[in-house]
Structure 1
Amino acid sequence: MIDFTLTKFKNSYLNAYKGLSKEIWWLAFITLINRAGTMVMPFLTLYLQDSLNFSISQVGTILTCFGIGSFVGSWIGGKLTDKIGYYKVMLSSLIMSGVSFLFLQAMDTFLSFCLGIFITTVFADAFRPAIFVAINSLSKPENVTRSVTLIRLAINLGFAVGPFVGGLIITSIGYYALFWIDGVTCVSAGFLLYMVLKPKASLSNLNLNSASGLSKIETEEKATNYQKIDFGIFLLIVLFTGIAFMQLFSIIPLYHKDVYNLSEWQIGMIISLNGLLIFAFEMPLVHLLEEKKFSKLSITIASLFLILISFAILNFEKNIAIILVSMTLLTFGEMLAFPSTNKLALDMADKNHKGQYMALYSMSFSLAHIISGKMGSYIVEMFGFTTNWNLMVLILTIAILLSLFLKLKISKRSKAIKELKVSLST
């Protein structure tokens, strides 16, 4: 019985990875190289304080420049993706961000580093909308969600490897080596992209590497008003979800240290639980939900409930088990939320402007990154952690209500369209 169960689990796990295109696997490998090489970012605040002697206020301003650069880069990347195609944007982003990392180590004044981190992030995050459109173009329609999940797996694995290796490099060589490694790995990822995913010359005249995978001579179709309204509501849902989730990288570690008196190593181990669970369970979980044919909005609503509970239980009795359960719930909520909202954004996007729609999706997370840390730190300083957790519960409750409203709205419209088709056919 046990052997049968293990075999069934193994087959189910392996099936989750079957059917994905060769191009998606290459894209995941390129992403892994790029993210594993991005070693400066986890140690950025330490570098700014220890090596450049910037104040906490100056560090906060630099991180704001980072967020604004991400916001602007996503917007530019989306616009360019629709104009010149995802391939050129991705290649340019990797090479230019690699070069920017090399120059960033020479920035040693406050203003120059603000400008440098802004430019570097603009180049780096132009990649984000382009890769979403690439996934949509290089995948079969039924595999898009799993393809997104595979790329997320590569990102999480890269972030797991990068900080570990980066810490060893800082100890043995110094911070300056990180900038060189970041720059070289970005350029190397760009070179690999050029070698394995360059569009075939025979297809270039049709510009099949454009955002929609269609010829530019195709008639432009504008999204109708109701589609834009739906997408606007959806972006609010994504923004509220992002504001809550980004607490994982700002307020939650602070809570672990101030309330539970945990060391940096212990905090790192708890947060690493997030990456380990994603690596082990996200792909088979997404595959299972696809087989069950749950709607993406239903999955999104379920994910919001899990994230909401993960914050609500932090108000219970102070116990190490509570923060472990909270991290687990937050992680499973993340596993459900991000692949489903990625696919929803692609499905709701006007097919000739997918780059711009995916830019708006990415910009929602960039804005959430800017808001979450600033707002959370202010609330904690003025009113305490409990008030902050309750605020997250309120924000997520609003996101759930918006999701239910959007689901009902789309369901009613789909029903009306079906009834209209029936009446026209009779």
Structure 2
Amino acid sequence: MLRTAFQRYINNFRGFSREIWILTVITYINRAGTMVLPFLSKYLKEDLHFSYSDVGSIIAFCGAGSMIGSWLGGKLSDKIGFYRIMIFSLLTTGILLFFLEFVTTFYGLCAAMFGIFIIADMFRPAMFVSLGVYAKPENRTRALTLVRLAVNLGFATGPALGGLIIMFIGYRGLFWADGGTCIIAILLFWMLVKEKKVAPHATQQEADEAAGKSVFKDKPFWIFQVTCLIVGILFFQLFNTIPLYESVQFHLTELQTGLLLTLNGLIIFLFEMPIVSFVERKNINKIKITLVGSFLMAISMFLLLINVWVGIMLVMMVFMTFGEIFSFPFSNSVAVSRAPKGHIGRYMAVYTMSFGAAQILSSKIGMQIVQYYGYSANWIFMGCLGIVGSVFGIWTNSLIQKENKML
């Protein structure tokens, strides 16, 4: 029985092109080196001694840069191609990260993080477009899940390594590790993957449909982006308020904080691909799955109100992680399915921008609530917000069902 279960798990990884596997490997290298983000709030608060409000503001500039970069990345991917955008984004980001350790003032960090995130997050919509090009249509959700597995396997190793680097070298060692892996990853991509043009131009009928279905007029898509925004706000608590809470409430070290994020990555590595494959085989409604994810994240926030037992951090992480599994791959699939030919970059830009906005709101709202009302008030607010996200998911599903009946 164990052998059969293992064989089923392995079968989930069959059918991908060589380019998808290379994308997966370079994503893992890049994400394993992404050690700055999980410790950014701790670095700003404990090493540079900024206030909660200032930490929230600096991270908000990261989110603002992310939004602009996401839009530019999607727009330029449609105009000049995803391949060039991916290479420019990661190579330039890697070089800039080497210099970030020398920026220590509040305004300097706001400007530096804003600029770096503009360039860094041009990569994401371009990468989503590349998946559409290199993956077969029937494999696209699984291809995204494979890349997400690489992201989370990277997060499973990166934060623990980051904690060790902080212990033995200091926070500044993280910038060199992050910058170096960005450059290594994109050089491997450039050497091993040849540029492939986006699928042939749309037919006249498809072009007419695209013209009548601008991303700005797609009401169900925008309502669904509210769910995505809320899911992102809850997710980014893992990188701003929660690491500080773990230190203040339970006195966890950077290594222990990193190991908790490692648990997040390992659970996703083990369960996400089988869950996605099951949902695809059974043709389960992806919007409904996403709203379940929002609800699980809400529960994870409410669990943090139990502040007398350190083990609750493990329980919270399990609920948060399964919330991610049910939210992220399927919300991406919904966004892609709404886009007509020639407009995928624009749709993916808006989709990724919602997570840039989430980063701004998550840090600024979370830190302000913590500063003025305490951590418990923040967990109550975030938990209620997660339930609102599920409600917007139900609304989106209702609109799309009505839309389908009219076709």
Q: Tell me whether the two structures share a fold, i.e. TM-score over 0.5.
A: yes
Which 10-residue stretch deviates more, 175-184 or 404-413?
175-184
Which of 384, 390, 394 does residue 400 from structure 1 map onto?
Answer: 390
Which protein is bigger by CA-based radius of gyration?
A: 1
- Name the structure 2 match of 1:360: 350
- Name the structure 2 match of 1:279: 269
Deviation of 1:322 (Å): 4.0
Q: Partners in 1 of 2:160 and 2:43 — Cα distance? A: 16
- Name the structure 1 match of 2:200: 214
Q: Partners in 2 of 1:261 and 1:58 — Cα distance? A: 22
Deviation of 1:49 (Å): 6.3
- Name the structure 2 match of 1:248: 238
Which of 213, 217, 226 does residue 224 from structure 1 map onto?
Answer: 213
Structure 1 position 182 matched with structure 2 position 190: no
Q: Partners in 1 of 2:169 and 2:238 — Cα distance? A: 30
The answer (yes or no) to whether the contact 2:12–2:273 under 8 Å persists in 1 is yes
Structure 2, unmatched stretches of 5+, are: none
The answer (yes or no) to whether the contact 1:54–1:110 under 8 Å persists in 2 is no
Q: Partners in 1 of 2:163 and 2:317 — Cα distance? A: 24
The answer (yes or no) to whether the contact 2:41–2:244 under 8 Å persists in 1 is no
Q: Partners in 2 of 1:192 and 1:85 — Cα distance? A: 19
The answer (yes or no) to whether the contact 2:62–2:359 under 8 Å persists in 1 is no
- Name the structure 2 match of 1:309: 299
Structure of higher RCO (CA pairs closer than 8 Å, 6+ residues apart): 2
Deviation of 1:258 (Å): 4.0
Q: Partners in 1 of 2:233 and 2:82 — Cα distance? A: 28
- Name the structure 2 match of 1:192: 188
- Name the structure 1 match of 2:131: 135
**What amino acid does structure 2 have at the position aligned with 1:160?**
A
The C-alpha deviation readout for 1:25-75, integer Å capped at 9, x for no partner, is 110111112222333444445555677x46335544432322221121111
**What amino acid does structure 2 have at the position aligned with 1:55?**
F
Q: Partners in 2 of 1:243 and 1:170 — Cα distance? A: 27
Structure 1 position 67 matched with structure 2 position 63: yes
Structure 1 position 380 matched with structure 2 position 355: no
The C-alpha deviation readout for 1:267-310, integer Å capped at 9, x for no partner, is 44334321221122111121122222212112112222222222
- Name the structure 2 match of 1:103: 99
TM-score (norm 2): 0.88
The answer (yes or no) to whether the contact 1:105–1:176 under 8 Å persists in 2 is yes
Q: Partners in 2 of 1:125 and 1:295 — Cα distance? A: 29
- Name the structure 1 match of 2:29: 33
What root-mean-square deviation, in Å, do the aligned CA atoms of Structure 1 and Structure 2 show?
Answer: 2.7
Q: Partners in 2 of 1:381 and 1:54 — Cα distance? A: 15
**What amino acid does structure 1 have at the position aligned with 2:32?**
A
CA gap of 1:62–1:85, structure 2 versus 1, over 3 A, is same
TM-score (norm 1): 0.85
- Name the structure 2 match of 1:86: 82
- Name the structure 2 match of 1:293: 283
Aligned residues: 402
Instruction: Give aligned-pair identity as a percent.
Output: 43
The C-alpha deviation readout for 1:232-266, integer Å capped at 9, x for no partner, is 10111111111122222223334444444545544
